[in-house]
Amino acid sequence: MQQIVNQLLSFLQQGIAAIFKFVQLIWTWSSSQIAILMQSPWQAWPLWKQILLVVLIGAVVWALYKAAMELWEAGERILAGFAALLGAFVRTLPSVILAGVIAIGGVWVLNHLDFSQLRLPSFMQTSAFEDGTARSHLVQRR
């Protein structure tokens, strides 16, 4: 069971790492494109190009604002989900403790109780039926 959990966690870790690498690649590329836009020699441009640059900068700011808001909302949901996960861990502790107590109690019973010295009632003893006398005795009573 521990190996399955470890493999699942390893798979999740590798998947998350791949997603973060992809996100980092996109952010790095986008940041370099924004830096190129900001380094353009806009002072020598005609007025219509400067207006277009302002529109482009506005579009970039809008896209970054939208991304920031989505990241903020996702962060809130992640924190809420993490809090719910911690709450579930705490709520399941009594059941987990009970399972451990049952397991240790069962192991103790299996290791320390000896039923070989326990006397069974005569009707539950198989040795009385081996020779057939007790069975014929029971049949005659009917």
In a domain, 81, yes or no: no
Overall number of domains in the chain: 1
Average pLDDT over residues 8-12: 91
Question: pLDDT digit string (tens) for 61-108?
Answer: 999 999 999 999 999 999 999 999 999 999 999 999 999 999 999 999
Range of the structural domain that residue 23 is part of = 1-39
To 10 degrees, what angle do helices 2-38 and 47-112 make? 170
- pLDDT band at 142; cut points 50, 70, 90: very low
Q: Where does residue 6 rank: exposed (0-12), middle (13-18), buried (19+ CB within 10 A)? A: exposed
In a domain, 51, yes or no: no
In a domain, 23, yes or no: yes
Which residue type, as a one-letter code, is found at position 140?
A: Q
In a domain, 128, yes or no: no
Note the pLDDT of residue 117: 75
* Rounded distance between C-alpha atoms, residue 105 and residue 25, angstroms: 55
Average pLDDT over residues 34-41: 85
- Is the full-model pTM beyond 0.75? no
In a domain, 137, yes or no: no
In a domain, 24, yes or no: yes
